[in-house]
Each structure stands twice: as structure tokens, then as C-alpha cells.
Structure 1
Amino acid sequence: MNIIRFILTVALFITTSTVSAQYCSQEGRYSNREFFSSIEIDSLKNRTYGTAVNVLGKSQELFIDFYYPNNTLDTLSKRPFVLLVHGGGFVGGNKESYMTNLCKEFAKRGFVAATITYRLGFDQNILGDHAVAVYRAQQDANAALRYTLENADTLKIDPAWIFMGGSSAGSITALMTAYGSQQEWNQFFPMLAEKLGPLNSSGNNFKQPFSIKAIFNNWGAVSPIVIKPEELIPMISFHGELDKVVSIDVSPYTGFGSRKLHNMLNEQGICNDFTIDPKGGHSIYRDKEGAIFRVGRAACFFKSLFCDTCSNFLSIETVSANCSN
């Protein structure tokens, strides 16, 4: 049995390394520049990835939009995937308002990208009830990833290279999805699993496991109760120094912000890329030019992981990435 397990492990390593090298060798793809034009990007919109009970006690359909290079024009059989989650304080926002543009920018660089609706709302008059909204959001993100992997062959997605990100509440959701386990939730909020169901079986019945390779963090944070130094993964972050909604450092309300996480990653020797806007508040680089800047840096950061050439980066200026060659 040990020999069989060893052989399977080696085979998986060789397969993953081979595909990774293939992505690294694709000149022009996964870079700061567009590889496909806007008219070469296709989409599948409002696909139902799950159904779950919302804050009003009613069943709610959950939708996902996919953006990807035209399958006829794109000759690759598998492509890395990025899931993006919108912000809005867990009470508002929508996938169309902003994440659509980011998805298209990633798709033009060769990725398959998607954004989702997720259940919103909590009772702001009940202390701690925001945890219910975060738990629901993580349930829905998990369901969306399981649905995506169930359809990976059709969408030409490589399950070995899954990235996740978002802005504000969406970034919190991405970080919680990467780090928050059922055991950790049960330790501090044992009533949630009983009230809302488990993290990994809500929304749909798909069983596909997933592993997130890196986080695209835009002015987000994560609860200290779920993050352990030994489980940190690479992250690219953008955050305003003057953010009063989600602290760049540490807050009793939002937890560990981008700079605290940056320092933790450095201490553990985990590759990370961090841009700080010294005069920025909550939500930075939001215009078209800023979005292209962030996606360009994120795409290059992800490509450096394919190529095993990732190096730490920290700046208080908008330094555009350049990895197209």
C-alpha cells in the first residue's frame, strides 16, 4: 500500500510540474498584457451553481458567470481558473457592478475567470450576527468551486491551478475560503453548522475537493481564529493606508488586514506581492486604469508561481508589472 501511495504521489507531482511548466512557457499568456482581444472572450452567464436558504428563510438560487478565451481559438486543453467575489459589507453589491470587468481582464490574459452571487444580509442589531453572513458566503464560495470543478472539462479548467480573490467583503470571503475549516468555525461558533449546515455540503451535492493556490486580496482581512502560519499560501494584495472600514493592520472587527498578513507571509518565507496606497482609504485603484494595473500585477504574480520564480514585492507606488516575455 505504501509503494502504491508513493507511486501515485510521484505521478501527481510529475503531472502538476509538467502542466505548470507548460503555463510558464506560454509566452504572452498570463501576463500584464492582453493575449486575447475583447471579441475573443466568451461567457456563460447566470448558471445556477446552487440553491440555499437565505437570511429571510427563503430558498435562493445562486448564480455564477464564467469568462474565458473562445474555446476554438484557444488551443490549450486546460487553463488556470480565478474565482472573484464582489464586496458590499455582506449586505449589498452584485457580481455585475465591478467583478465582470476584472473577469474579462483575466480572461484576455488566458485565464478562465468567474464571479458569483452569494447570500447577503444579517441582523446588524444582533452582536456577532455578521459571522452568520461570513459563514453563508463561505458556504456559497465552496459550492461555486465544487460546481466549477464538476464542469472543469467543459470549461477547460485545470483543477490543479485554482486562484481566488475579491474586494472588501469578497476578499474576506476568499481568505476565509482558503483558511477557514469546519473545525475552526465549530470551535468558536458551534451553532452555525447546526443552523446553516456544514461548510462543504451546502448549495449543491457535488463532492469535488479543491485547493486554492494563491489569493488576490483587495482591501480585505481575515479572522485570526482561522489562520495558522504553517498553512499560509502566496498572496497579492492592494490596500489603502487610511482605510477606516477594513484596517490595513489589525482590527477587533475585521481581524488581520493586508499588512499584518504581508508580515506573516514574510516571516514564513511565503511569496507575496503588496501595493499600498499611502493616501488611499477603503477601495483603491477602482477605475479602468486601476483595474488593469491590479489584474496585470496579479496575472504576473500567478505566472511567477507557474514558473517557480516568485519573489517578494512591496511598494507605495503603482508599479506596473512586466512579465509578458
Structure 2
Amino acid sequence: MYRYSGIRAFLLVVTFIFLGFSFPSKTQQNQLPEKTRYLDRTFKEVDIQKDIKFAESVNEKGELENLKLDIYTPQGDEQLNRPVILWIHGGGFRPGNDKSQSYIVELVKRFSMKGYVGLSIDYRIREQPRENPEETIFDAVEDAGKALVWLRENAEMLKIDPSKIIVAGGSAGGILGTNLCLNDNNNIPGVDNSGIIAFVNLWGSPSAEWGEPVVDENDPPTIIIHGTEDELVAYDNSVKLKAELDKNNVRNELVTITGAGHTPVKHMDGFEVNISRFLFEIIQQH
């Protein structure tokens, strides 16, 4: 009985080959049908590697602090030279939030299912960040710069294209990202913005206290998501930022969520579409 079963299986394989059929690869098995990569969720699952050390920095207490990141990749994806999104969490630059912040994790997963590689990073925070906002921003941007260095050094392992980097940050992470992408790094040594092709600013347009943007024509295309009733980061900051981007002919989009406060996660399904379309068009041009 077993011998005939084996013969039958062999004949089935031969028939498939003869008729031009092929067995699906791991990527095909995990992909959803009739979807467009980078625009739709084309993968069913995401692989996650947690707590990868990418650098060391001296914190406000004078102690050496290990900086870590989590890596999110589409499960079974075999494509090389993928774009990468550097995700930066919020939390007011204070203890209590890190790279595992819930809405950041949800967004990283959603965009990794679209085919992006996602890196969610930690950076130095402070007990009293407003006592010296300049130093707070300096440390945070410097750490994000170190993540960019690590990203480039490990591009082959990550199967990414270091000339296709997207920075995305929420709240304090958006403020950090604005300083990283739009402020010429505040003269922070060693921070290299090369390869950044877009910035996703999630309700994090800073006031002058946190490094008001100094925009120029070389800044990356920027999409801003912001609620009109935000009591922590003024919506008007984003209106002003858009005006500066327009003035300097930097491609941009302001997605206004009328009536929404800070961190409007219940609107995520909607603004996910806005971000996906914005980034997809930019990816096609690179």
C-alpha cells in the first residue's frame, strides 16, 4: 500500500511539472493575492527580532547606556534591497515609553506587512527633559544618527537599500524626526542624513522650544498627521511647518484629523492609507 502511495505522489509531481505548475515559494505562501507591495498589506505575518544593540551613549547621569532596536521583516520575504522605515517612539522624552510603544508597534507591523523592513529604536530620555530641551534634543538626535550608522553597516544582513530610508516618529518621536530630517541635524557631529527619502511626522511638529524647523529645498518629502484638538503639540505647529515646506518647494502633505486630540490611534486605519499612498509614490521614483 505504501509503495503505491509513493508512486502516486511521484506521478503527481511529474504531472505538475509537465503541465507547467510550480510549488509556491515561502514568499508566495505568505503573500496575500492581488495586492501591491508597499501600498497594500501583501504579507500575512511579520518576523520580529528584539533588543538588538546598535550603539552606546552616555546618559544624563554620566552612565554608559546600551541603545537597542527591534527589527520587523515580512515573514518569508526573499526580496533584496528593500526600503526601510526607522520608527521613533514618543513619550515626551521622559521614562515610561520605549521602542515597544503600542501604537508604534502596530504601525511597524502594518507597514512591514506591506513589504518594508521596520526598525523601532530607543534613544536617550531624561527625568526632566524641559530643564534643558536643547541637550535633550541633541542627545536624542545623536542617538537616531547612530541608528542610521548601524542601519547602513548592516544593510546586507537586513536586505535593505540604504539609499531608501524613511524616518517616522510620533509625538516626541516626531519632534526628534523633525530635528533629524529638517533641521540639518542642529550641527550634531556624526549625524548623516544621506539616503533619507521621506519623513512621516505623526503629531510631532515642534515649537521653538524643541527646535523649530529650518526648512530648505533639500529636505525630504514630508507627510504630517495631526488632530486639530491636540492639547500637547499644537496643530498650528503643523500648519506652520507645511507653509515652510511649501515655501521651499518640498513635497508635503498635511493630513488634518478634525476634532482629534493627541495620538489619534482610532483614526489609524484612515491615516495608514494616506501614509501608504504618499510613500508608495516616492518609492516608485527611487
TM-score class, shorter-chain normalisation, is 0.7 to 0.9
Tell me: CA distance 1:301–1:218, structure 2 relative to 1, closer, same or farther (3 Å): same
Question: Is contact 2:181-2:219 (8 Å) kept?
Answer: no
- The reply on whether 1:34 has 2:18 as its aligned counterpart is no
Per the alignment, residue 182 of structure 2 pairs with 179
Q: Give the superposition deviation at 1:200.
A: 1.8
- Structure with bigger RCO (C-alpha 8 Å, 6+ apart): 1
On the 8 A contact 1:234/1:270 being kept in 2, the answer is: yes
How far has the Cα of 1:94 moved from its partner? 1.5
Q: Secondary structure at the match of 2:235?
A: coil
Structure 2 letter corresponding to 1:200 = G
Q: Deviations over 1:246-303 (max 9, x none)?
A: 1122xxxxxxx2211222223333322221122122221x14xx33433332122111
**Structure 2 match to 1:136:** 139
1:281-296 correspondence runs (5 A): 281-284=261-264, 286-287=265-266, 290-296=267-273
Counterpart of 1:200 (choices 176, 180, 190) is 190
Question: Which of 86, 95, 100 in structure 2 is aligned with 1:96?
Answer: 100
- In the alignment, structure 2 segments of 5+ residues that lack a partner are 1-33
* Alignment match, 2:238: 258
Given the superposition, is the C-alpha separation of residues 97 and 277 from structure 1 closer, same or farther in structure 2, using an over 3 Å criterion? Answer: same
Distance 1:277 1:45, change over 3 A: same
* Residue 75 of structure 1, CA deviation: 3.1
Structure 2 partner of 1:220: 204
Q: Distance in 1 between matches of 2:193 and 2:176?
A: 18
- Identity within the alignment, %: 28
Aligned partner of 1:44 in structure 2 is 49
* SS, match of residue 229 in structure 1: coil
Structure 1 letter corresponding to 2:88: V
Alignment check: 8 A CA contact 2:155 2:161 kept: yes
Instruction: Confirm or deny that 1:111 pairs with 2:116.
Output: yes
Aligned ranges 1:53-132 → 2 under 5 Å:
53-70=58-75, 73-92=76-95, 93-98=97-102, 99-121=104-126, 123=128, 126=131, 129-132=132-135
Change (3 A) 1:277 1:60: same
1:140 positional shift: 0.7
Mapped pair 1:303 → 2:283 = no
The answer to whether residue 253 in structure 2 is matched with residue 246 in structure 1 is no
Name the structure 1 match of 2:20. none
CA contact (8 A) 2:177 2:199 kept: yes
Distance 2:193 2:274 in 1: 28
Aligned length: 248
Q: Does structure 1 retain, via aligned residues, the 8 Å contact 2:200–2:223? A: yes
Please tell me whether residue 233 in structure 1 is matched to residue 220 in structure 2.
yes
Instruction: Please state whether the residue corresponding to 2:141 is helix, strand or coil.
Output: helix
1:160 positional shift: 1.2
1:98-117 CA-to-partner distances (Å, cap 9, x unmatched) read: 21111111110000011111
CA distance in 1: counterparts of 2:140 and 2:78, whole angstroms: 35
Q: Report the Cα offset of residue 225 of structure 1.
A: 5.6
Distance 2:114 2:101 in 1: 21
